[in-house]
Amino acid sequence: MLNYSIRCVFPAQTPQFFILTVQSNYFLADLEEAIRNKLKSLCNANISEISLLKVNFQEHIGETDEALLHRVRDYLQQHSSDARHAPLPRGTSIDCIFPPEDMRENVINLLIFNAEVLELTESLATLRWAYRKGIRDNLTQTILNMSPSLEAPSNAIKDAKNVKQLITGGPVYINRVPVALFNSALAKLQQNIDNPNFPVSPIDVKKASEYIARATQFYASEDERERGIKSAVDSALRSKGTWGQTLDWADNIRPDGLWKSKSGNFFVDFLELKNVPGLQGDPKLQCAGDLLKVVRSDKYKDIRGICNFPAVFIGIAGSRLQVSIAVYIGAVLVSDLVEIDLSCLGFHASDVIIRVARIFTALSLCHEDLKAYYASIERQHTTPLDISFLFPQPISATKAQLPNIIYDRPLDPEGRPTEEVPDFERRSTALYLGTFVGKQVLIKFTRRYNETAHRALEVDGLAPKLYFCGDIVGNLCMVVMEYIPQAKCLADHVVGAELLDVLPLVIEKAERAIDLLHQRNIVFGHLGYRNIMVYGEHDTKSVMLVDFDWAGTPGVDHYSAAPESSTDRYDGVLPYSTLEKGHDLGQIEQLKTTLADLEKSLQMQGVQMTTQPATL
């Protein structure tokens, strides 16, 4: 007689994952009794009425229990009725209900639920539904708001007014957001192109030489140039492109070159060429217009929620070669990777040829990665409420392994949840809520971050718990920290009496935090109201500092040069000034002055005040 090991999940408020070992000659009643006993031993609860749903639910490699639980609850919410319409047969033994071929490693065999679990899944589903519907509605509205009068990309880029419409507060953002953040295939391409030791073969170099020889010739027209170089481009990319195809379903655009996914339903590369640089517009911008037209098409309306349409732009203008990467997240985000003029090889001819060989070889590898990405998109079961298009797919710039994050929603620049597709036009960071090792976390992507400063304050409870800080491709830093939903920044304490209530504790904790940093020769640099968080009630209030982006060594490191970053700096400190300890101390004095002014103002109004001394 064989023993069966059945992998079970009970997705209650306190979920239970367990393996139940039963004999193969058990019947359903025996199995149900064994499950009740197991649940009683695990959560000390008498659960009389249970329903069983047989599944073959594959666990993903590296997936956390929290992420698996989300998927299980979503599945149960959609399929719980199957347990009623197709119940497990009561007169059949376990080995017939669960044949051996179903009992695979890392596969859940049985979902266990009752009325309480169903109520929980419905409640969670309702909240998620409302939020996700808001995001998808906003995405749809963003698409609809694109000007229908936008000309064909080939014409639009010739007119300054149309170009302005595209890139000034419009649907195309060039070099504002590192695109590598949002697609791992594009991040890998950037990493390979930036790698001076990226390997190429003599054959790759030969193909690059052939392309350069053809690209540096003079042609009478764009058509002649296309005929002259396209076979060399196909050869260097190791893939034959589709040249001059009109896309009647995308406002009849006609890109010079297209490279498609395996199914032919998506595009991995857009190529536009100009005979001479500067004439007839910018080929890169024309590629952006092409992608914009494609995304707007009704052909893709059902998958916009799971796909951000990653693509490579290849711009050729005479002997000039441009490579950019792009995604669509409410706007076409473009990052330039390389621009190289091949007209004069000169002393560095060998280096230039090898450089071009590396570019084309990296592009050919990216082709395969993007084809795999789009194949996975087509295999996915999408729903009208999927919003995974929003979320990052970073890759590490070092040997450090990135944390396995399950993203939940984006945040606005102030760290508040938003029900709109993020507008990256004037942002210098990207913020998200997610789950890591079963805990709700805030994920931040920023240009730089002082991990040492954060950890110095974390030890004393003066900064959120820091789970991870590391570099990612795109010249960014990924930061994962504790999320405290009830925390409010000091700027949100706008009422005089309310601000007066928290300022004494804020000043005390800020002085303690700054002293700890200064002992380590670190300047915080941005002790403004937005970077001081207050949470808790009454006598249990606590204070933390956040945003260690520009903390650094006094007299050595600098403030950001960006003018919009001046909001939280000490008065009179100019962009790119060196950090000084006096700036932190000056901001504490400003807090004390604010407190004194508030006390004086409220006293003049006859308000009775009782200020309790704060304790560390």
pLDDT digits (tens, 9 = 90+) for 505-517: 999 999 999 999 9
**CATH 1.10.510.10 domain extents, the chain:** 488-604
> Residue 615's pLDDT is what?
40
Q: How many of the other CB atoms lie within 10 Å of CB of 484? A: 17
Q: Among the residues of 554-613, which ranges form H helices?
A: 581-604
pLDDT digits (tens, 9 = 90+) for 471-520: 999 999 999 999 998 888 998 876 677 888 899 999 999 999 999 999 99
pLDDT digits (tens, 9 = 90+) for 360-374: 999 999 999 999 999
Q: Is the model's pLDDT at 562 over the cut of 90?
A: no
137 contact partners, CB below 8 Å, separation of at least 6 = none
Q: What one-character DSSP code corresponds to residue 8?
A: E
**Class in CATH terms, 3-121:** alpha beta
Instruction: Supply φ then ψ for residue 517, to 5 degrees.
Output: -70, -45
> Residue 86's pLDDT is what?
75
Instruction: Supply φ then ψ for residue 48, to 5 degrees.
Output: -85, -50
Element (H, E) at 206: helix 202-215
**CATH 3.30.200 domain extents, the chain:** 388-482
- CB 365 within 8 Å of CB 199: no
158-192 residues labelled b (16+ CB within 10 A) or e (exposed): eeeebbebbbeebbbbbebbbbbbbbbbbbbbbbb
Lookup result for tokens 């760290």: 415
- What's the average model confidence in pLDDT over 138-154? 74
Closest of 353, 311, 362, 359 to residue 339, by C-alpha: 359
**CATH 3.10.20 domain extents, the chain:** 3-121
- What's the average model confidence in pLDDT over 557-563? 89
Q: Is the model's pLDDT at 257 over the cut of 90?
A: yes
The pTM (predicted TM-score) of the whole model is 0.80
Fold topology of 488-604:
Transferase(Phosphotransferase); domain 1 (1.10.510)
CATH code reported for the domain at 388-482: 3.30.200
Percent of the chain with pLDDT over 90: 55
